[in-house]
Structure 1
């Protein structure tokens, strides 16, 4: 699993992005669970994720409405299948409005550009 912590912040909210190979719904869930075993990530406000699988896409907003779809669209554009990407946000006390989607995009772009 690749984990990039502290990649950006906006008005107090802090972001990380992580990902790993996942060839099924169960593997994707296991990757998210493994990430959340780290106390810092378990305490995050949101761990939104998405994955493109042969039997269809999966996404989970984890309370950050629309974030899973943003991740999914970027994975589709990139053609990255069987790879779950998780964007983590620690809420900083200020609502970001539509900018939160830009931060999710920024985080996914960072992951796509830096993953091993």
Structure 2
């Protein structure tokens, strides 16, 4: 990659708030992505390549919709401050920002489009 490039990884709010515990394998991979993002950012900073991540909260996506049963579909996103799941168009600006020159001072960071859930991470 050339100088000034940007790598953007996708993780999840579940890396910071691991619930439900029955998703431990999925949650572990998302936590690993956070660590990978931070480590790779430090590794590539001398090459002027930025590495950041996005950790969405509950977002309606086709895989999400197909994986949930009727009960869970009705509840999806109901436990977050805005009381709803987000849409992909609400997460997309995070990626656009991190890919743009406007984020030239960001590296090793994770943005959290998650409707107000505080993650302290």
Regarding TM over 0.5, the answer is no
**Which structure has greater helix proportion?**
2
**Which structure has greater strand proportion?**
1
> Which entry has the higher C-alpha Rg, 1 or 2?
2
TM-score (norm 2): 0.27
